[in-house]
Amino acid sequence: MPLEILLVLVVVGITGITLLLHLTGKSAQRELTADIARDQWLRHAPDDAIIDVTVSHDRHSALIRTETGPGLLWSFGADTVARHLVDFDWIEHPDGFEVQFHDFATPGTIIRLDETECAHWRHLMEPA
């Protein structure tokens, strides 16, 4: 098969799959509730004992308090990312705050919070 035809087939195939996933709602960002956040945290960290779950108003992030300290869970497309809040920077952002982890394998994220939520989360994220 000529390379030109193969290239067209690959491009059309990838475009078609992407369009199909988007139209069926599979590309929507995951929304969290307290129960979903708890289940997702335990999927990432099964040995943690969860004390409290605080979900943001936009339902795309959650602050998880565990016996070993706080953790952050956020939507990353249709999946979630969970990280313990150890060795990170809290950076003010017009939409809330940005968290940058000092681990190159962990992506930074912007947590969208209103002013009241931001103050509450800051209090919960501070080390004991």
The structure tokens listed for 54 are: 């605080």
What string of pLDDT tens digits covers the 128 residues of the chain? 889 999 999 999 999 998 988 888 777 788 899 999 999 999 999 999 999 999 999 999 999 999 988 999 999 888 899 999 888 888 888 988 899 999 888 888 899 998 888 889 888 887 65
The structure tokens listed for 27 are: 């590309």
Is 54:111 a contact under the CB 8 Å cutoff? no
Three-state DSSP state, 71: strand
Please identify which residue in the block is written with the tokens 């919960």: 124
